[in-house]
Amino acid sequence: CGASSSAPSGASSTGGGTNNSSQVYVVGTDAAYAPFESVNPQTNQIEGFDIDLLNAVAKAAGFQVKFENTPWKGIFQALSIGQRDILISAITITDERKQSMDFSNPYFQAQQMIVVPPGSPIRTLQDLKGKKVGVQTGTTGDEIVTDFLGKTDPNIKRYDTTPLALEDLKNKGVDAVVADNGVVLDYIRQNSSKGFEHYTDPKFPKEYYGIAVKKGNTALLEKINDGLAKVKSDGTYDTIYKKYFGS
């Protein structure tokens, strides 16, 4: 509610200093989304591509960040009421979301994938008709499946996290899961014995991830875009990309 949109909600700035870098912005991320954001079971720390990227962006642009695990369900609200200053959570930039928050320039290209158990005949969106389909509630995967099968289709099963949907696929609770490619491929790599197969439908649009700030927080958005441009041009982005996705 403060008029100054550049004041961090973290309030950990040591008073009196004129150094901008003492500002700590609170970042929300739904850390059940490896390799973008997940909680390391040993250290309990949030880690991943998005974390390394935003840390690098903050360093390049001269501000500080503190990550808070934030369930996807309430993540956009946490931003709009000022509990979080920034969101980085593999968030697809959509026209609808742009109405309630502002996005940085895109930092990652993604696409939906259909995941099925070995031997399944399902290949396309069309094949999902009459099948039980798992999605993470409120994601772009949910939107695509809901648009196609209809809002009231009882075969759509919604989960709080994408790993929960994939676990249920393993347990045969659903026939397919629709989710972002990066997360699906990482899950399959970590659980290779399950032999999940994955397909993309030509109808799935390209999606672009953006870093979100509260609508109207142009000052912070400019810093983020400035940092993003720097890490892209100096090779830092590529180094982080290779760490998580190979060359």
Residues forming the site for ligand ARG (CB under 6 A): 30, 33, 37, 72, 89-92, 139-140, 162, 180
Q: Torsion-angle region of residue 91: left (phi > 0), alpha (psi -120 to 50) or beta?
A: beta
Name residues whose C-beta falls within 8 Å of residue 127's C-beta, 6 or more positions apart in sequence.
121
Say if strands 86-87 and 24-29 run parallel, antiparallel, or are unpaired: parallel
When the beta carbons of 15 and 96 are compared against ligand ARG, the nearer one is 96
3-state SS assignment for residue 57? helix
Q: How far apart are CA 75 and CA 211, in angstroms?
A: 13
When the beta carbons of 8 and 35 are compared against ligand ARG, the nearer one is 35
Place of tokens 């870098």: 21
In the complex, what is the shortest distance from the CB of residue 31 to ligand ARG, in angstroms, rounded to a whole number? 7
CB 74 within 8 Å of CB 81 = no
In the complex, what is the shortest distance from the CB of residue 203 to ligand ARG, in angstroms, rounded to a whole number? 17
When the beta carbons of 180 and 201 are compared against ligand ARG, the nearer one is 180
When the beta carbons of 23 and 29 are compared against ligand ARG, the nearer one is 29
The DSSP call for residue 92 is B
In the complex, what is the shortest distance from the CB of residue 51 to ligand ARG, in angstroms, rounded to a whole number? 11
CB 80 within 8 Å of CB 101 = yes
In the complex, what is the shortest distance from the CB of residue 93 to ligand ARG, in angstroms, rounded to a whole number? 8
When the beta carbons of 60 and 128 are compared against ligand ARG, the nearer one is 128
In the complex, what is the shortest distance from the CB of residue 85 to ligand ARG, in angstroms, rounded to a whole number? 17
3-state SS assignment for residue 198? strand
In the complex, what is the shortest distance from the CB of residue 90 to ligand ARG, in angstroms, rounded to a whole number? 4
When the beta carbons of 60 and 93 are compared against ligand ARG, the nearer one is 93
Neighbours of 45 (CB within 10 A): 11
Instruction: Find the length of the chain.
Output: 247
